[in-house]
C-alpha cells in the first residue's frame, strides 16, 4: 500500500487502488479519473432562500469571487475560487464562517444538492428524510417548501441528531420536525402517507475521494456488497411510507453499481407498486451526467473484473445486472455523476413513484 503523506503518496496509491479499478470497470478513463478524483473539491454553498438580507449576502459572495452553479435551478448556489476548507486568511475565511453560522448560507458539496433538485418538493407537501443528518438535504427541502410544507428529518444516531438540530436552528427553520428511528423501521403515519421521501442511504463513499482521501486506501469492492441489504431495507421502508402517486429519491455518494443500480433493481422487484420515473432534466439544466448502468461486472479485492463472479467475497446473485428487460429499461432512467463531469464529487440518483 502507498504512503499516505503528500500528493506523491496519494497519486501512487491512486494508481494501484481498487477504487481506480472500479472507475475503469465503469468505462471511465483512468488518467482523467486519477487527475480529477485526487484533487480537493472546490468550496460550494447554497444561498439561504428567505433570509432578509439576501442581497447583501450575494454581494459578499460575488466579492469573494463566487460563481453561480447554473444547474442549481430553484436555489442559488455558488462555487468559490478556492478548495473546500481552504478559504484565504485575509478576512475571507472569517466572513465565510460568519455567513454560514448566521444562516445566510449553507456550505454543501455541490453533488449532494442533487437529491432535492431532482425530487423538487413543493409547498403544502409532507416530506420524510430517512437518513437526514447532518441536515443539508433536509434544510434544502425545508427552504423550498416553506412556509406551508413540512419536513420530517429522521436520524437514528444520537450524536448526529444533535448536528441536525443545530442546522435547523442555525437556519431558523420552523417547518422541520426531527425524529430518531432506524430508517428501516420508521413508523407509519395516517393515510395517505408522505408526499415525498428522501432515501439518501449510508454507503461506502466510493465517490467521495476528493474530500475523503482515506477512501483511496480503505475502499474495497466487498464494501458495497456488505451495504446492499441495509440500503434495500431503508429504501423499501420509504416505499411503504409513500402515498400513492408520491415520489421518492434514492441517492448515494458512491459509484459502485452494487449500491446503486443493483439496489434499485431489487427495490422495484420487492416493491412492485414502485416504478422508476424519468428525471426532469430542466430541474438541473446544464448539468453533465450519465444514464444509469444496465451492465456491470463484480470485482475482486484488487479491483479487477473477476472471471468467476461467484468467487468474490459475499457474492449474491442480486449484485449482478438483472436479466429482466423492463428492469434494465428502468435502470437507464437513473443518473450517475462523476467527478470530472462538473468539477464535483461523484453521485447517484434515482427518482421513483
Output the 3-class SS for the chain: CCCCCHHHHHHHHHHHCHHHHHHHHCCCCHHHHHHHHCCCCEEEEEECCCCCCHHHHHHHHHHCCCEECCCCCCCCEEEEEEECCCCCCCCHHHHHHHHHHCCCEEECCHHHHHHHHHHCCCCCCEEEECCCCCCHHHHHHHHHHCCCCEEEEECCCHHHHHHHHHHHHHCCCCCEEEECCCHHHCCCCCCCCEEEEEEECCCCCCCCCCCCCCHHHHCCHHHHHHHHHHHHHHHHHHHHHEEEEEEEEEEECCCCHHHCHHHHHHHHHHCCCCCECCCCHHHHCCCCCEECCCCCCCECCCCCECCCHHHCCCCCHHHCCCCCHHHHHHHCCCEEECHHHHCCCCEEEEEEC
* Active-site residue flag, 203: no
Alpha carbon distance 228, 220 (integer Å): 14
Q: Please tell me which residue in 131, 203, 253, 271 is annotated as part of the active site.
A: 253
Residues labelled as active-site residues: 253
Amino acid at each position: 500500500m502507498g504512503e499516505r503523506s503528500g500528493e506523491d503518496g496519494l497519486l501512487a496509491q491512486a494508481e494501484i487502488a481498487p477504487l481506480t479499478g472500479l472507475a475503469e470497470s465503469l468505462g471511465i478513463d483512468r488518467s482523467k479519473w486519477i487527475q480529477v478524483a485526487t484533487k480537493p473539491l472546490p468550496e460550494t454553498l447554497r444561498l439561504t432562500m428567505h433570509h432578509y438580507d439576501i442581497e447583501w449576502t450575494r454581494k459578499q459572495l460575488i466579492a469573494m469571487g463566487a460563481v453561480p452553479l447554473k444547474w442549481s435551478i430553484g436555489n442559488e448556489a455558488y462555487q468559490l475560487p478556492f478548495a473546500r476548507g481552504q478559504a484565504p486568511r485575509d478576512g475571507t475565511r472569517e466572513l465565510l464562517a460568519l455567513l454560514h453560522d448566521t444562516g445566510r448560507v449553507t456550505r454543501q458539496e455541490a453533488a449532494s444538492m442533487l437529491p432535492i433538485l431532482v425530487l423538487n418538493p413543493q409547498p403544502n407537501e409532507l416530506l420524510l428524510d430517512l437518513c437526514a443528518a447532518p441536515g443539508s438535504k433536509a434544510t434544502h427541502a425545508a427552504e423550498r417548501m416553506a412556509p406551508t410544507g413540512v419536513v420530517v428529518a429522521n436520524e437514528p444516531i444520537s450524536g448526529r441528531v444533535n448536528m441536525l438540530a443545530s442546522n435547523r436552528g442555525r437556519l431558523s427553520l420552523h417547518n422541520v420536525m426531527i425524529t430518531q428511528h432506524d430508517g428501516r423501521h420508521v413508523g407509519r403515519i395516517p393515510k395517505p402517507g408522505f408526499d415525498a421521501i428522501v432515501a439518501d442511504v449510508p454507503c461506502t463513499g466510493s465517490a467521495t475521494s476528493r474530500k475523503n482521501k482515506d477512501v483511496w486506501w480503505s475502499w474495497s469492492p466487498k464494501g458495497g456488497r456488505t451495504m446492499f441489504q441495509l440500503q434495500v431495507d431503508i429504501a423499501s421502508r420509504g416505499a411503504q411510507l409513500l402515498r400513492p402517486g408520491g415520489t421518492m429519491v434514492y441517492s448515494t455518494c458512491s459509484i459502485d453499481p452494487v449500491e446503486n443500480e443493483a439496489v434499485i433493481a431489487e427495490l422495484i422487484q420487492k416493491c412492485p407498486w414502485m416504478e422508476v420515473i424519468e428525471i426532469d432534466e430542466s430541474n438541473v439544466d446544464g448539468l453533465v451526467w450519465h444514464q444509469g448502468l444496465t451492465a456491470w461486472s463484480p470485482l475482486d479485492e484488487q479491483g479487477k473484473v473477476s472471471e468467476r463472479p461467484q468467487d468474490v467475497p459475499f457474492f449474491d446473485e442480486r449484485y449482478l445486472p438483472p436479466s429482466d428487460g423492463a428492469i434494465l429499461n428502468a435502470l437507464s432512467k437513473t443518473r450517475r455523476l462523476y467527478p470530472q463531469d462538473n468539477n464535483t464529487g461523484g453521485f447517484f440518483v434515482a427518482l421513483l413513484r
